[in-house]
Amino acid sequence: MDQTTMEENAHLTLDRGSIPTEESNNLRLQHLIKKVGTEAVRVEFDKQQEQRDLLQPRTGSVSSADFDITLMMVFFRHLTPLHIGNKLPVEVDTSTAADLTRITYFRNKRAHSDSIDDKEFEEAYSIISKVN
């Protein structure tokens, strides 16, 4: 490849390397959900000792580190009294169930979209950042 062709193609590489804002927002939010959301779910999972005993193998032990967020949410929905909904809870509801619902809501929403505008990103980021 001659020097002229390399220079002409250099801008193509740079252009492909830049990510549109909406896609960047989506990636940032997915990262937040994975880091903050998974940790919040693991903390609550580890608190649920009585129900967790149902999952204990005959030898060894089970902890939240053994499961992904999806399986832990199934656990909460079916083996605990916590009501994990599908709709975003009202802001004043700071219960554990509401926080877990928020994580699920935004995680599911991001799974079905590749981009998010700045306004929606800021709102989601603010809500998820407050999850205990």
Do 36 and 131 contact (CB within 8 A), yes or no?
yes
Is the confidence at residue 56, as pLDDT, over 70?
no
Residue 104 belongs to a domain: yes
Sequence-separated (6 or more) residues with CB below 8 Å from residue 127: 88, 91, 102, 106
Is the confidence at residue 106, as pLDDT, over 60?
yes
User: Is the pTM of the predicted complex or chain greater than 0.95?
Assistant: no
Residue 2 belongs to a domain: no
Residue 90, Cα to own-chain centre: how many angstroms?
A: 19
Q: How far is CA 33 from CA 12, 78, 117, 125, in A?
A: 32, 22, 17, 9
The residue range of the domain holding 68 is: 21-129
Is the confidence at residue 7, as pLDDT, over 60?
no
Residue 55 belongs to a domain: yes
Residue 5 belongs to a domain: no
Residue 11 belongs to a domain: no
Residue 66 belongs to a domain: yes
Residue 10 belongs to a domain: no
Do 115 and 129 contact (CB within 8 A), yes or no?
no
Do 44 and 96 contact (CB within 8 A), yes or no?
yes
DSSP tag of 112: T
Using 50, 70 and 90 to split pLDDT, how confident is the model at 63? Answer: confident
Domain tally for the chain?
1
- Residue among 128, 56, 53, 45 nearest 82 (CA): 45
